Structure 1
Amino acid sequence: MKQVRVQLEDFDLGAEVAALRSDNPRIGAVVSFVGTVRDMNDGASVSTMELEHYPGMTEQALAQIVEQANARWPLLGAMVIHRVGPLLPMEQIVLVAVGAAHRGEAFDACEFIIDYLKTEAPFWKKEQTPEGARWVDARESDDSAKAKWATP
């Protein structure tokens, strides 16, 4: 199962992982990552965050990232769910879940997917702070995380 969704609605982590594992007894490890909205960013209080995306292009970019992970590791399933629209602190933003025969591949592939998602997927974040609205810039740390996956 390889699935990519961009949606306004929240997701149920347990249900999504169960769907990833369903009917595949070869899966010996599932690793998941859930990103949530923080109430502080760059020293400012955040009351809401709005995520925008480029429909069609975003889903294609996410699917390509999953395919790159699948080319590197023998995955038995992978899923990316990314929310858009207005979100409050503590709400879920993104789920990356990976199923593989062994934990090493699952951990590596999950980390690879989120590292590439943070730098390659066309999402834009706008935060509401006490000083007003501001767009969130790309982070150098995200580029560094992605760079570790470069092939020699």
Structure 2
Amino acid sequence: MSCQVSVLYFARSAELAGLRCETLRVPRQVTSLQLWEEIVRVHPRSTCFLEISSWSCSLETRLPLSHQLVEAESARVLLGPDMGLQFSSSTLTVFSMDESEDVPKDFIKLKSEKLSVDEVSELVVSPYCGAVSVFIGTTRNNFEGKKVIHLEYEAYTSMAESEIKKICRDVRQKWPTIKHIAVHHRLGVVPITEASVIIAVSSPHRAESLEAVTYCINTLKASVPIWKKEIYEDEYSWKENKECFWANSEK
């Protein structure tokens, strides 16, 4: 018995494949290695930009290319630079909380519009907290002697939001006194000096919020599927963060 699997392509993967999405027919029970082989058969150029590594969002575990069977029904396969195969069978349901109470809240947003430091920092202000720590990541005008014109970001939005939500949960486990967390990331074109990501955290005392903000940005760079394209005067390059687990796997 066979079924259809949707394959989504991102960043350089989409450029080389020449499309953003397609549907493949595979056996109902299929191994990750078989899925990979089918994608390579359809797109031979894929062998030049994907590492032999993969992970599973639906199971929240890392899944190497192997002969382990995967239930393919209703699954989606995601491909991005140096990521390998990524499986997802669920989508994010954004939760809401009663804003009339000052209970801990997470504010997560991916958007194409310009980010506002004031807006993000105000989200986490609390009368119970004496500290708000903020990280702002901006576009610089150079990289290794090259003039940078601007940056472009793209993401698999629902999965990125889900991964950021996991980061927020981890933060609250590590620093229980943290009150509010806000993570806003810009997508699309980000001009020089403008913010691509803003993270704000509030806590009763400064030490916890400072440590939590550092953890948030480092973990976001390492685990969230957001891709950065650096545009120079006469060329461009898809950049990977050194923290990414897929950038270091099998190397």
Q: Describe the SS at the equivalent of 2:173.
A: helix
Distance (whole Å) between structure 2 residues aligned to residue 19 and residue 72 of structure 1? 21
Q: Describe the SS at the equivalent of 2:127.
A: coil
Distance (whole Å) between structure 2 residues aligned to residue 12 and residue 126 of structure 1? 22
Within 5 A, what are the aligned runs for 1:18-97?
A: 18-21=122-125, 24-73=126-175, 74-97=177-200
Normalization by structure 1: what TM-score?
0.86
The Cα offsets for residues 8-61 of structure 1, whole Å up to 9 and x where unpaired, read as 11122123212221xx31111100001000111132111021101012001001
Larger fraction in helix: 1
1:4 to 2:74 alignment: no
Matched letter for residue 223 of structure 2: E
The Cα offsets for residues 67-121 of structure 1, whole Å up to 9 and x where unpaired, read as 1111100211111000010111111100010000110101000100011011111
Q: How many correspondences in the alignment?
A: 139
2:235 alignment partner in structure 1: 132
Matched letter for residue 75 of structure 1: I
- Greater relative CO, 1 or 2 (CA 8 Å, sep 6+): 1
2:101 alignment partner in structure 1: none
Q: Describe the SS at the equivalent of 2:199.
A: strand
Matched letter for residue 140 of structure 2: R
Normalization by structure 2: what TM-score?
0.53
Matched letter for residue 121 of structure 2: V
Larger radius of gyration: 2
Runs (5+) with no aligned partner, structure 1: 144-152
Matched letter for residue 166 of structure 2: Q
How much identity, in percent, do the aligned residues show? Answer: 28
Matched letter for residue 111 of structure 2: Q
1:3 deviates by: 1.0
Indicate conservation of the 8 Å contact 2:120/2:199, yes or no: no
Distance (whole Å) between structure 2 residues aligned to residue 117 and residue 43 of structure 1? 27
